[in-house]
A and B are shown apart, each in its own frame.
Chain A
Amino acid sequence: MSLWKLALLIALFNLMTFGNGPVMIPLLQTHLVEGARVLTEDQLLYAFTIARVTPGQANFYVASIGYMLYGIPGAIVATLVIMLPGYIMIPLLHGYEHLRDSRWIKSFTKGLTVTSVGLILAAVVQIARGTLTQPIAWVVLLATLVMTQLLKWNILVALAAVSCLGLLLKWLL
């Protein structure tokens, strides 16, 4: 896969998912991990995680993927490609009133959102087959869910805590 094909794929997926970063995961998983095999599942997960723990936009994990494949030029191209559609904002500022009331656009994005819930969960199952190979991994996954969802811990704190938990279990068992 050339840098330009990667840029084209990311640009396309970004537009299709309305710039909603995490929704691109199933698309990238299918095309880069399973299809072209230029990326491993671990790399995709790692890229996604660092975007979650760094400040700024969450869809910047494409910069990490760009770097993994093509170094700094890859990172820059990937970032530019997801930011450029932002310029649609300028004409929109003038013709907004018509769009806001468009039930078609609203229900279209609603359909995208709902569908992506199914797609993301399907990608999770696929990735889990390769990633959750030891019981400890399952414990860490469940602990992360409990800490971030039920206990409402900060993401950084939760990541540090579950990493310690994983290491401790690995050392004990």
Chain B
Amino acid sequence: MVESSLKRGEDKEQRGNYTTRVTRGELFSIFLRAGLAFGGGLGILAVLEEELVAKRRAVTREEFLTIYGIGRIVPSGTMTALAVAYGYTFGGLSGTVIALAALSLPAFVLTIALTIAYHYLRNSRLFDLLPVTIMPAALALIVVVALKLGKDVFRPSRELILAGVAFALALFLRLNPALILLAGGVLGAFALQKAEEENDTEEKDSGK
């Protein structure tokens, strides 16, 4: 981790001038800028890389990539995990609160504003136009998510069978998707080990 490798003083040469501290104020402004980035996870990642690695040299590129790698397996969304990691590194527990608040503020405010807009829309005649505009488009965007996640699913493979069975169980037998999901994970742990190897695709990013 950033701090521990500093303390141990190994790779001192490699780190060179990567010793900048980030203050709590900077932490807030960096993550606020990240939270304003469009393009989901990759947009946010680009801002963090620019601020922490390129501009401030607070983190080496290798540390940045390692922390990103860890963040991907955390069940909160990768960007939330990154806010916790950098907040903790530069400001302890209070740093995590600052980074999380800054990262979430823009999305939270805009999401609530647009949800309130929906309530007004509901009582107007414009509401009748949603079924031919935003609603089918939203459905298309969900299809896109499935296509992106399924980059290596849609070809003859064990993955295709698993996805197909999950589809049928959910749609025709109306089994609870939560149960299907868990079963799929366990089955995957046994049946998809070989297929995994060098196949570490960007699957999680498509959702961020």
Query: Which residues of A line the B interface, CB within 8 A?
Result: 12-23, 25-27, 29-30, 42-43, 45-52, 54-61, 63-64, 67-68, 72, 75, 79, 82-90, 92-94, 96, 99-100, 103-128, 131-134, 136-138, 140-142, 144-145, 148-149, 155, 158-159, 162-163, 166-167, 169-170
Interface of A is mostly: helix
Those of B14-68 within 8 Å (CB) of chain A: 35-38, 40-41, 43-44, 66-67
Cβ-defined contact, B130 with A42, below 8 A: yes
Q: Kindly identify which residue among A42, A149, A170 contacts B129, using a CB–CB cutoff of 8 Å.
A: A170
CB neighbours of B82 from chain A (8 A): 89
Cβ contact within 8 Å between B111 and A114: no
- Chain A hits for B73, CB < 8 A: 18, 92, 99, 105, 109
Contact A46–B138 (Cβ < 8 Å): yes
Interchain CB contact under 8 A, B74 and A166: no
Which of chain B's residues has its CB closest to A138's CB? B136
Q: Which secondary structure dominates where chain B touches chain A?
A: helix
Q: Which residues of B contact A (CB under 8 A)?
A: 1, 4, 35-38, 40-41, 43-44, 66-67, 69-71, 73-85, 88, 96, 100, 103-104, 106-108, 110-112, 114-116, 118, 129-147, 149-150, 153, 159, 162-168, 170-171, 176-178, 180-193, 195-196, 199-200, 203-204, 206-208
Distance to closest chain A CB from B83 (angstroms)? 7
